[in-house]
Amino acid sequence: MHFHDIASAFIKSMRGSDPNTAVYWLARMIKGGEMSSSSHAA
């Protein structure tokens, strides 16, 4: 799955008030290394 697809699923789960699914997608982003400080714009 592409990062943008995972991020989209995470946001949709947060908007849909589904905390368990939001935590799942957040964990997928972290596990995939997408949450490293180098991936954030300054």
Please give the pLDDT value at position 35. 58
Please give the pLDDT value at position 36. 53
Please give the pLDDT value at position 29. 83
Q: Which residues contact 26 (CB under 8 A, 6 or more apart)?
A: 10
Q: What pTM did the predictor assign? A: 0.59
pLDDT digits (tens, 9 = 90+) for 1-42: 677 787 888 888 988 888 888 888 888 888 876 555 544 444
| Interatomic CA distance for residues 37 and 10, integer angstroms | 19
Q: How many of the other CB atoms lie within 10 Å of CB of 10?
A: 19
